[in-house]
Structure 1
Amino acid sequence: MSIPDIAFFDRTYVRRHLGHSACIGAVRSAMRALSAGRTRQLLRTMLSLGERRTFALMPGALAEDDFFGAKLISVFPNRDDPGRRAHRGLVVLFEPEEGHPVCIADAEEVTLIRTAAATAVATDALARADATRLTIFGTGAQAAEHVRALALVRSIERVVLWGRDETKAQKLAASLAAETGLDITVELDGERAAAQADIICTVSGAAQPILHGRWVRPGTHINLVGSSGPGPVEVDDDLVAVGRFVADSRASVLAQGAEFLVAKAAGRVDDSHVVAEIGEVLSGAVVGRQSAQEITVYKSLGHAVQDLAAVALLYRQRLQQSETQTGGASS
């Protein structure tokens, strides 16, 4: 095998070519494989670089004879929005035959799209089939991505945005409404925002609970996305305890799932409260939603295999395009 050129996918390329629909399919396959033990990954390693500054390494392999690699990412305060932290870095992909690096991709853009795709996969598996009302707690980039992705797995008729900055929330609502054609409104009262929802996504990065269990109607599905490590929590112990709790990875949630760990420390739940990984639900090994009235909760931490699956999708598309162009030139 000749040494391949290393492809570079910058954020513009990723945004243009990593479609939500295809990414949902790639992440769905990766999560099935993760729960079946066909993928390999380590818990993320996080190195503190000072207050609110972190460098993280996430290695993994899609399968023994498939692409492998790692995500290297910095999590630093965002200068444009001091209340948030920005995720910046690279995903490096290696081929499995001789171990050559073949691709480097912008991790920030990949993370934006694949995180929402993973939430869409979980929502498709756990939300009621007739769910049409979506509430998003948060007004950052992930809020917009989640509206786009979830509209692909449910017939969303109405979206409610909750945020602490009304001006920012109204601006995002207007932009998304114009883009998607959906009915999108802003609600600054968290209880009213939750009461209107069939599906709730928390993507705020809040340090303290912004969503409480007593606010959530029976039959709601909730995606906990904003907190990606021990420490900050977006929901209270009541919500964790009341829901049928599904993890993206059981080992990761037991070690790093902030909301679960806080509820466990308070004596509200134990490890058995994590009833399944989403891959087990997808494969049919464990039942997801058991009734129309049940509250389901999905805890998303994000995993290397999701990032690698998304970048491998981009790389395979690039290879196919090159082969098509080569074939056309020689015919």
Structure 2
Amino acid sequence: MQIIDAAKVGAVLDYPALVDALRALFREGCTVPLRHHHGVEVPGKAEATLLLMPAWTPGGYIGIKMVTVFPSNGQQGLPAIMGQYLLLSGDTGQVLAMIDGQTLTARRTAAASALAASYLARPDAERLLMVGTGALAPQLIRAHCAVRPSIRDIAIWGRNAAKAEALAERMAAETGLAVTAARDIETAARQADIISCGTLSKQPLVLGAWLKPGAHLDLVGAFTPEMRESDDEAARRARVFVDTREGALKEAGDIVLAVKAGALTSDAIQGDLYDLSRGISKGRESAEEITLFKSVGTALEDLAAAQLAFERAQAI
């Protein structure tokens, strides 16, 4: 059994290859059962959660992501969320690899946004606004730049201006592009061709009125029905796409709350990543239209990333 740690996951999962791997598996499809969600008692502390997310392709690979959420871990200087990915042979059931789950998840999440942008963002997009400064932010920047090499200017906005400045300096040195910290989110959003949001916000950060013709809005961070990064007007103005219809209509606050308010109907969702990858949905249809993509994640993405990481790690 191979142990593929965080450093190796980062080394083998470059974004062009990972986006192609996700595209291929969304096109082919795989078995994705409902995830298992279990409460775990922790004596003297807050209840923990165990999440098991399986997926497989017949005769190919079986994958299981195991995630634990221990809310009291901060008292011991530990992260609240930890995870590992177990990859098995779909032919024999043999355990093939244990893969760092946090790095795998961050990479596949950013790659899913980039896959969507490859269909939905303007091919000549030059200005990217990154909303959020957490661990996912640099991954989203790298992923979007991988599918839209036309990007020349990047702005980063965060509630903590110092973190935005630090991330801007880091990404400027890494990419060689013009990267700055945005002081005013509205001004930056009105100028952006692509806006990518990776926050834990419960209130809209990007308003639909700010989106210029041709803009693409990528919503990643809000992952519960109560969280959102955009307002109802964004859903009204945009052609809306999601990673999976089932997940978005149940878990994505940007979708759930817009539907509840009457700003969007489930039938108005133009397509998901299955539809885009299979050519069922056309994606962007004009240079002027506004597009919106909302993701909540699916075990298919984990499996696509894990099998690519395993096959590439074997070759090293």
Which TM-score applies when normalising by structure 2? 0.91
Distance in 1 (alpha carbons) for counterparts of 2:230 and 2:168: 23
Instruction: Check if 1:197 corresponds to 2:192.
Output: yes
Identity of aligned residues (%): 36
Maintained 8 Å contact 2:241/2:269: yes
Maintained 8 Å contact 1:91/1:308: no
Q: Which residue pairs with 1:122 in the alignment?
A: 116
In structure 2, give the amino acid aligned to 1:103: A
Decide whether aligned partners of structure 1 residues 241 and 20 sit closer, same or farther in structure 2, where only a CA change above 3 A counts: same
1:200-245 Cα deviation digits (max 9, x unpaired): 1010121211111111111101111001232211111111222111
List aligned pairs for 1:100-139, cutoff 5 A. 100-139=94-133
Q: Which residue pairs with 2:243 in the alignment?
A: 248
Q: 1:262 deviation in Å?
A: 0.6
Decide whether aligned partners of structure 1 residues 41 and 92 sit closer, same or farther in structure 2, where only a CA change above 3 A counts: same
Maintained 8 Å contact 1:24/1:118: yes
List aligned pairs for 1:160-309, cutoff 5 A. 160-309=155-304
Instruction: Check if 1:15 corresponds to 2:10.
Output: yes
In structure 2, give the amino acid aligned to 1:40: T
Distance in 2 (alpha carbons) for counterparts of 1:144 and 1:318: 23
Instruction: Check if 1:149 corresponds to 2:140.
Output: no
Secondary structure at 1:275's aligned position in 2? coil
Of 297-306 and 85-94, deviating more is 85-94
In structure 2, give the amino acid aligned to 1:228: F
Report how many aligned residue pairs link the two structures: 308
Distance in 2 (alpha carbons) for counterparts of 1:44 and 1:147: 29
Maintained 8 Å contact 1:43/1:252: no
Q: Which residue pairs with 1:41 in the alignment?
A: 32
Q: 1:102 deviation in Å?
A: 1.2
In structure 2, give the amino acid aligned to 1:65: G
Distance in 1 (alpha carbons) for counterparts of 2:165 and 2:16: 27
Long gaps (5+) in structure 2: none
Q: Which residue pairs with 1:94 in the alignment?
A: 88
Distance in 2 (alpha carbons) for counterparts of 1:273 and 1:126: 16
1:166-206 Cα deviation digits (max 9, x unpaired): 00100000011011111011113221121110001010121
Distance in 1 (alpha carbons) for counterparts of 2:294 and 2:115: 12
Tell me the C-alpha RMSD between the 2 structures. 2.1
Secondary structure at 2:297's aligned position in 1? coil
1:274-308 Cα deviation digits (max 9, x unpaired): 11112212221111112111111111111111111
Decide whether aligned partners of structure 1 residues 122 and 51 sit closer, same or farther in structure 2, where only a CA change above 3 A counts: farther
- Which of 54, 65, 68 is the aligned partner of 1:74? 68
Secondary structure at 1:254's aligned position in 2? helix
